[in-house]
Structure 1
Amino acid sequence: MKMPHHPDRQDIQLSSVLYALSDPIRLYLVDVIHKSGERRCGDIAVPVVKSTLSHHYRTLREAGILHVRVQGTQRFSSIRTEDLEVRFPGLLGSILDAYHASGESERLTEPG
C-alpha cells in the first residue's frame, strides 16, 4: 500500500487550510479527531458515501491538517496540531471555538 503524501510543515498554506475547513463535513471530522485523538478512518459516522468520505480525508491530509498513518489495511488519522500551531498560531483553536459557538457542531453528532 502506497504511503499517503503529507506536505512538509513549511509547505502548509493558509489558503489550503481555510479551504479544507470550509466544508461542514471536513470541519466535523477535524472537530471529532481533535477531541478524541487518533481515529481510524471510517469510524466516524457521517452522512456521505465512502468515496466522498475518502475525498474529505484526502483534502484534509493534502492541506496539512491531518496526518494519516497506514497500519496493514487500516488508515488512522490524527491532527497535525504542532505543525498547524507553528505555521498559524491559534488558528485551529479559533476556528473550532467559532464552530462550537455557531451551533453547527450540533448538526452532525456521533452516535453514542
Structure 2
Amino acid sequence: MTEAAETHTALPEPAAGEIRLEAVLHALADPMRLRIVTELAAAEAEQNCLAFELPVTKSTMTHHFRVLREAGVIRQCRRGTSKMNSLRSRELAELFPGLLDAVVRAAAGRHGDCRTAGDR
C-alpha cells in the first residue's frame, strides 16, 4: 500500500441476522442518538463524527455512536484518523420494514424536515 492509499477499517458491528428489534428501539429512544440518525438519513453521503454538532461532551458523543453501531443502526469505518458513519438503511428495512423511515419521518417532522431514510 502506498502512502497516498487510504486505509479503511470497519468497526465491529452485528451481522444483519444478529440485529435485534429491542436493541434498535433502545438505540433510537435517546434524543441525541435519534438526532444522529435523522442527520445521517438526510445526508447525501457518509458523515464524519465531527460533522455532528451535539450539545454533549466528546466522550458522550462517542458513547452514542457506539450504541448505534452495536445495535446495528449505523456502520462506522475508520478512514485515517476519522470515523465515518452511515445508516444501515437497507438491512434495517429488510429486517423491520418501514421502521427506520417511520422513526426518521416522525423525528424530522418535529423539526420541519420530512425526508426519510429511504429517500437517500
Q: TM-score range by the shorter chain?
A: 0.7 to 0.9
Query: Following the alignment from structure 1 to structure 2, what is the Cα–Cα distance between the partners of residues 44 and 76?
Result: 11
Which of 4, 13, 22 is equivalent to 1:15? Answer: 22
Query: 2:34 matched to 1:24?
Result: no
Identity of aligned residues (%): 37
What 5-or-longer segments of structure 1 have no aligned partner? Answer: 107-112
Normalising to structure 1: TM-score of the pair? 0.86
* Matched AA of 1:27: L
**Matched residue SS, 2:75:** strand
- Alignment coverage as a number of residue pairs: 103
Query: Following the alignment from structure 1 to structure 2, what is the Cα–Cα distance between the partners of residues 3 and 33?
Result: 17
**Corresponding residue of 1:39:** 47
Q: CA RMSD in A?
A: 1.4
Query: Following the alignment from structure 2 to structure 1, what is the Cα–Cα distance between the partners of residues 16 and 83?
Result: 21
**Corresponding residue of 2:69:** 61
Larger Rg: 2
**Corresponding residue of 1:70:** 78
Query: Following the alignment from structure 1 to structure 2, what is the Cα–Cα distance between the partners of residues 44 and 77?
Result: 11
**Corresponding residue of 1:109:** none
Query: Following the alignment from structure 1 to structure 2, what is the Cα–Cα distance between the partners of residues 3 and 96?
Result: 25
Query: 2:98 matched to 1:98?
Result: no
